[in-house]
Structure 1
Amino acid sequence: MDDLNKPFLITKSLYPENQETPIKFLPHHLIPTNYHFKRNHFNYPKILTQNFLLPISGEVVKSVTFYFNQIINFPATTFTGLLECAGNNRSKFDPKTFGEQWEEGAISQGRWRGVSLSKLLSQTGLTTDAKEVLFEGYDFGKREDSDNYVPFARSLPLKIALHPDTIIAYEYNDKLLSIKHGFPLRLIVPGWYGMASVKWLKKITVINYPFTGPFQAIDYVYYPKDIEPFPVTTTNVNSIIQYPLNYSILDAGNHTIEGIAWSGEGDITTVEISFDGLHWSNAVLLKNTTEPYTWTKWKYQWNALEGEYTIFCRATDSKGRRQPMNAFWNKKGYGYNATPKAHVKIT
């Protein structure tokens, strides 16, 4: 492909840098680093000598500082998995919500390699009071709701932190992480929205209380209209239509409607296509069952006759979760997963 015809990342903001993956134009199973979306709350941290040390302390039997070279020499865990920003598709909420107005591209997928966090915690041991594991990144700055400088920091419940596939990652697609994606070390939490996968890890602290930092107790919380707030955690069942593009004009004849579907809990079991939102037909799923954390490609053969159509797509996962026709509205615009639509004209 000629460079002039290659898609570009879609810039949402420059300071901090937030850019979308051109997801509708990329057929790749592994999204290259230069196309992986960027989500930042602050400017990029400077990479200094201390960035290559990772101390673990708190409710542990012994505090240990791990060197980067130690970490990469532990037995590695490697898997292919997607990351989706919790605000992906936020621009589609009606009424509008607070936050970066992402379209469909705050999602990417690649092969992560690192050391299981549980292996590192087995070196430190845990006290009987351990409840959560707190992760702090080197990125910091002022929030709009405060004059104080704060780091990006979040915690995980002990059960999730000790899952064998929760890893301290140092490679993406068989190369060291790029600086803009968390080099030298970042957390990867498969199945959870991307905010959990803290970048530029500075330190890990095992704590005996619920963490209430601003990126845990204020941001990344669902604030619905009529029920109590609750935390953003696992990725909702979701899908997109990659072809045809919205508002396409196509010739009559055979077309392959295609896209991807994913879920943070369980596998995608069905993807259905409709042209009226009432009657549904199954698409063909193309899924590697040995990769539980990846999206599922799907295709549907359509003999298109002249006219105007709205194509609907919905996915269902093995936990019985199905995409709704309308998104679950919440004040900060997280977890959008309404049934996607593509309007097309056939001539």
Structure 2
Amino acid sequence: MKYSHPPEVRPYLISKTLVPENQETPIHFYNGDIVTEKLFYRRNHFSYPHFASSFYLLPIEGLVHTPKVFSLQEIYSLPSKTMKVVLECSGDKRKLFKPKVFGEQWGKGALSQGIWKGVTLSTLLQYTGLLDSAKEIVFEGYDNGIRPDSNQLFNFSRSLPIEKAIDPETIIAYEYNNHPIPFKHGFPLRLIVPGWYAMASVKWIKKIIVIDKEFKGPFQAVDYVYYPNKENDSGKFPVTTINVNSTIQYPLNMQLLHTGVYEINGIAWSGNGKIANVEISIDGGKSWDTCHLTTSSEKHSWVRWNYKWEALKEGEYTILSKAKDSNGNIQPSEPTWNRKGYGYNAIDRIKVKVE
């Protein structure tokens, strides 16, 4: 009698909604630094756009000296920049907020990382110039639809202040992991804004417009704004830089373990410098030990960490992880609650039982 090998078991995206498609990465089961196309989380406000990529052109217009329309071939021929960048949805971990907030109930997997290649926006702007009155640069995507709070048709559009837009790390990307950007992640051109939450990294760029005032589009002035008060808009401020954060990948929350020696592992990241260290607590925060960083700490990418745990005593354990970045930012014990549930970065917490 012949026995066949069991098929290889692979993780799949975790579906949140299908129209528009919103799916998160099974981050607990991912062991590499580079997330493949199939496991890259998907965040959309609308259905996927329709356009003819073979006739794709990128105009830069508005408050420039010389408006210009770039072909893809022109963009490909310009000096390129390649970076490993973590992209995190600003709603990552939203389901952990207490009290609960409305919105896509993301767990811990609205987060992915890979190698992006493209041309810096500042390189393109050398061909157009900027007028002295320029204040912000608007990036309009091809994706559009009717917002629930209005009967109007909107394209997904976001702006960057001039200084962030011309930062040498802000790129118009055309490759992901040495291949053309997958269509579902912005092919043929996607803005990549390292260090900022991923709503800034506009997909399927349709056009770039330079303006002399604050952009008031709904995905800038209504959404992706921190509202610290439940009843009114006082104290609101924009969502920008990724907060320092960490996630325990193994063990899993509420997992049953036998007594023995385990390697607790996870990832940590920050949009504000590099990860300096990660600490772990096995006793619910009463005491802390330093974890071992198993990958080099780089700007704009996550670091992997682990900790050897001798789980020799039966019982229930609350395991916590806490990251600190090179600018002194530390994960807080409690998240900063806000009405739309952005920027969750409280100390990560799981429970396990040893028996």
TM range (shorter): over 0.9
Cα deviation for residue 278 of structure 1 reads 2.5
Give 3-state SS (helix, strand or coil) of 1:5's partner: coil
Between the aligned partners of 2:317 and 2:108, the Cα distance in structure 1 is 21
Report what 2:242 is aligned to.
235
1:200-223, Cα deviation, whole Å (9 max, x unpaired): 000001111000100000000000
Shift of 1:224: 0.2
Deviation sequence 1:38-85 (CA, Å, 0-9, x none): 000000001314762000011111000000111111111001110000
The structure-2 alpha-carbon separation of the partners of 1:46 and 1:318, relative to structure 1 and needing over 3 Å to count, comes to: same
Q: TM-score, normalised by structure 2?
A: 0.95
Amino acid at match of 1:213: G
Partner of 2:222: 218
**Whole-angstrom distance in 2 between the partners of 1:153 and 1:266:** 27
Identity of aligned residues (%): 53
CA contact (8 A) 1:51 1:202 kept: no
Residue 149 (structure 1) aligned with residue 156 (structure 2): no
Unaligned runs of 5+ in 2: none
1:103 to 100, 107, 122: 107
Encode CA deviations 1:237-265: one digit per residue, 9 max, x unaligned.
00000000111111212111100000000
Alpha-carbon distance in structure 2 between the residues aligned to 1:303 and 1:42: 48
8 Å CA contact 1:51, 1:200 repeated in 2: no
In the alignment, structure 1 residue 259 sits paired with structure 2 residue 266: yes
Moved over 3 A (4+): 1-4
**How far apart, in 1, do the equivalents of 2:213 and 2:54 lie?**
28
Q: Could you tell me which of 75, 80, 83 is aligned with 2:84?
A: 80
**Within 2, Cα distance between the matches of 1:57 and 1:314?**
45
Q: What is aligned with 2:299?
A: 292
Partner SS for 1:72: helix
Q: Aligned partners of 1:51 and 1:157: how far apart in 2? A: 30
Instruction: Tell me the alpha carbon deviations over residues 178-207 of structure 1, each in whole angstroms, 9 at most, x when there is no partner.
Output: 110000101000000000000000000111
1:145 aligned counterpart, secondary structure? coil
Contact 2:63 2:211 in 1 (8 A): yes
Q: 1:274-289, aligned counterparts within 5 Å?
A: 274=281, 275-289=283-297
Counterpart code for 2:75: I
2:125 aligned with 1:114: no
Shift of 1:3: 5.3
Amino acid at match of 1:219: D
Per-residue CA shift, 1:140-170, capped at 9, x if unaligned? 0000100010100000011110011100000
Residue 159 of structure 1 corresponds to 163
Q: Distance in 2 between matches of 1:184 and 1:53?
A: 10
TM-score, structure 1 length as denominator?
A: 0.97
RMSD: 1.3
**Structure 2 residue 288 is matched with structure 1 residue 273:** no
What is the DSSP-based 3-state SS (H/G/I as helix, E as strand, rest coil) of the residue aligned with 2:15? strand
Counterpart check, 1:325 vs 2:329: no
CA distance in 2, matches of 1:9, 1:3: 18
- Cα contact 1:59–1:129 (8 A) shared by 2: yes
For the 8 Å contact 2:53–2:188, the answer to whether it is kept is no
AA aligned opposite 1:294? S
AA in 2 matched with 1:300: Y
For residues 135 and 86 of structure 1, do their structure 2 counterparts lie closer, same or farther at Cα, with a shift above 3 Å needed?
A: same
The answer for unaligned runs of 5 or more in structure 1 is none
CA–CA separation in structure 1 for the residues paired with 2:6 and 2:288: 39
Paired residue type of 2:321: C
2:207 counterpart of 1:203? yes
Aligned partner of 2:75 in structure 1 is 71
Aligned partner (choices 74, 95, 100) of residue 91 of structure 1:
95
- Secondary structure class of the residue paired with 1:297: strand
Mapped partners of 2:192, 2:101: distance in 1: 27
Cα 1:268/1:163, change in 2 over 3 Å: same
